[in-house]
Amino acid sequence: MIRDYNLHFPPVLITEKERELHIAVHEFVDKEIMPIREQLEDDIDLQNKVRQLLVDIGLQKLSMPKEYGGEGVRGTLLNALICEELSRGDVGIAVSHMCTGWAWKPAINGNMKAVLDRFMPNFCGDSVQIGCFAMTEPGGPHGGGGCDIENVSYKGTKLRTIAKFEGDECIINGSKLWATNSGIADLYCVVCTTDPKLGEDGIVLAYIPKGWPGLTIGPDENKCGLKTDHNCPNYFDDVRIPKEWTIGPGEKAAELFWAQLPGVSSGAMATGIMQGVLETVLEYTGHRIVADKPIRQHGGPAEILADIAMATEMARTWYLTTAYMCDHPEIYGPKTGLLAARMNMARITSESAVRCAEKAIQLMGSYGYVREYHVEKYWRDSLMVTLWKGGTRLSRHNVCRGYYDLEI
C-alpha cells in the first residue's frame, strides 16, 4: 500500500530530514522484514541478521553522541517515527532497537563520562551492540516487584535490588525480570537502591557489561507473542563494578529513572501494529469473494474497516502531536504534568491495536488465525504492548496525576 505521507505525517510537525529518515526505514521494513516476519519469531539467526542490517543503515548510532562516533540525531518525534515503521514489520525488533537507546539515556543525560568512554565507542561501530534497561523485579512476601517499581506513588520504596558502596566499588545483589534484551545485551543499566526505606534518596543506576563476574542470566521467557523481544531473568550475586559506573544515590538518579517511564514510543508501536493490520486486511478483503463480491464491498465489513482506519489515524495523530510537544520544551515545558499525561494517553492506544487486530481476524475468518497471514502475529504482539511499564491501568493513574493529586 502506498501511503500519502503528507496526509499521514503532516509537514507542519515533521522536518524534511525526519521525513527522509522515516521513508528510508519504511522502505527497509518492506524489503528486509516483511518477507521474513513470520520466520523471525523462531530463528535467532534471522533476528541477528535484521539487527545487523539496522546497524548497516545507521540506526544503531543515529542517536549516539557525535564525540564517540555517533550521529547525535536525537528527538522524541524521530524516534517515534522509527518505532512505528519497525513495529509495522515486527514489534519485538522495534522494542529491542528502542531499548538500546533507552538503556543509554541515563548515561548520556547524566553525563556519566566513565561509562560513555568505556562502552559507547563500540555502540557507534559497525557491529551489533545491544543495551538493556533492567527495572522490574519478582514479587516477594514483603512487597515490591512488578509495576510497584514503576508506580511513582511508591517513590522507589519497592526496589529490592541492593547497591552497596565500598571504597571505589559498588556491590550489587538482587534480581530482575522481563527486561527487554536481557540475555542478548552487551550492556545492562540496572535500577537499584541503597535502602528501600530511603525511597528516591536511595535510587542508584548502575551499568554492568555482559559476562561480568556475578551476573548470571536465566532462560528466555516462553511467551505467547513478541518472541523477538528477549526477556530473561537477571541475577546479581556480589556484582562488583567501579563506583564511576553508577549514578546516585539520590536526586539525579531518581530524576533519570522517572524520566524513563512516560514515553510516546509505545503509542508509536501500537500505531505500527494497526497500520500493518489495516494494510493486511484491506488487501485480503479486496481479493476474497463472498456472496459474489469482495468482502470489503459489503456494508458490515466496510464499517469495520472504517473503524480500524479511524483508530489507526487517531493513534498516529496522538503520538505525533505529543512527540512534537516533547521536542519543544521551550513552548510546552518539561515532560511533567499534562504533557506526561498525554504521553501516557499515547501509550494507552495499545488497547486499540488489540481490538483492531481482533476485528481484522474476524473479517478474515480462519485465514486471520493462521501464521502465514500476518494478522494473528500482530494480535499476539499487541497484547504485550498493553502490559509493559506497569500496564495501561497504571498509565490511566498517571493520566489522572496530570490533572489532580491522585492518592493511590
Domains of the chain and any CATH numbers: 5-128 (1.10.540.10), 132-258 (2.40.110.10), 260-401 (1.20.140.10)
Q: For position 153, what pLDDT does the model report?
A: 86
In order of 75, 123, 242, 363, 396, the CA distances from 185 in angstroms are 24, 12, 20, 40, 31
Q: Specify the range with the lowest mean pLDDT, choosing from 172-181, 254-263, 325-334.
A: 254-263
Q: Using CB atoms within 10 A of its CB, is residue 396 exposed (0-12), middle (13-18) or buried (19+)?
A: middle
Residue 399 has pLDDT above 70, yes or no: yes
Closest CA to 129 of 55, 69, 206, 231: 55
> In degrees rounded to 5, what are phi and psi of residue 222?
-90, 90
Cα within 13 Å of Cα(261), Cβ side: 27
For 157-177, the pLDDT digits (tens) are 999 999 999 999 999 999 999
Name the residue type at position 63. Answer: S
Q: Provide the pLDDT confidence category of residue 5 given band limits of 50, 70 and 90.
A: low
Q: What does the alpha-carbon distance between residue 187 and residue 321 come to, in Å, rounded to a whole number?
A: 32
Q: Where are the alpha helices (DSSP H) in 217-298?
A: 251-259, 265-287
Closest CA to 216 of 191, 242, 182, 193: 182
Q: Where are the alpha helices (DSSP H) in 110-202?
A: 113-123, 147-150
Q: Using CB atoms within 10 A of its CB, is residue 158 exposed (0-12), middle (13-18) or buried (19+)?
A: buried
**Which secondary-structure segment (H or E) carries 166?**
strand 162-166
Q: For position 2, what pLDDT does the model report?
A: 47
Q: What does the alpha-carbon distance between residue 189 and residue 207 come to, in Å, rounded to a whole number?
A: 5
Place of cell 528527538: 75
Name which residue leads in pLDDT, 142 or 108. 108
Residue 240 has pLDDT above 60, yes or no: yes
Is residue 152 within 8 Å of 158, Cβ to Cβ? no
Omega of the bond leading into 213 within 30 degrees of 0 (cis) = no
Averaged pLDDT for residues 147-157: 87
In order of 95, 113, 184, 230, 405, the CA distances from 48 in angstroms are 14, 29, 10, 12, 46
Residue 203 has pLDDT above 80, yes or no: yes
Q: Specify the range with the lowest mean pLDDT, choosing from 67-71, 138-142, 389-393.
A: 138-142
Q: For position 142, what pLDDT does the model report?
A: 57
Q: What does the alpha-carbon distance between residue 129 and residue 340 come to, in Å, rounded to a whole number?
A: 30
Collapse the DSSP code of 256 into the 3-class scheme (helix H, G, I; strand E, B; otherwise coil) and give the result.
Answer: helix
Is residue 282 within 8 Å of 1, Cβ to Cβ? yes
Q: What does the alpha-carbon distance between residue 196 and residue 162 come to, in Å, rounded to a whole number?
A: 8
Q: Which three cell numbers stand for residue 174?
A: 538482587
Taking the C-alpha atoms of 343, 347, 348 and 352 in order, what is their torsion angle to the nearest 10 degrees? 130
For 265-321, the pLDDT digits (tens) are 999 999 999 999 999 999 999 998 899 999 999 999 999 999 999 999 999 999 999
Q: Specify the range with the lowest mean pLDDT, choosing from 148-152, 200-204, 285-289.
A: 148-152
Contacts of 130 (CB under 8 A, 6+ apart): 51, 96, 100, 181, 184, 185, 186, 187
Question: Which residues pair with residue 219 across a beta bridge?
Answer: none
Averaged pLDDT for residues 15-35: 94
Average pLDDT, the chain: 93
Q: What does the alpha-carbon distance between residue 340 and residue 264 come to, in Å, rounded to a whole number?
A: 10
Rg over CA atoms, the chain:
21
> In degrees rounded to 5, what are phi and psi of residue 174?
150, -160
For 110-124, the pLDDT digits (tens) are 999 999 999 999 999
For 343-388, the pLDDT digits (tens) are 999 999 999 999 999 999 999 999 999 888 889 999 999 999 999 8
Place of cell 520544551: 329
Residue 145 has pLDDT above 80, yes or no: no
Residue 101 has pLDDT above 60, yes or no: yes
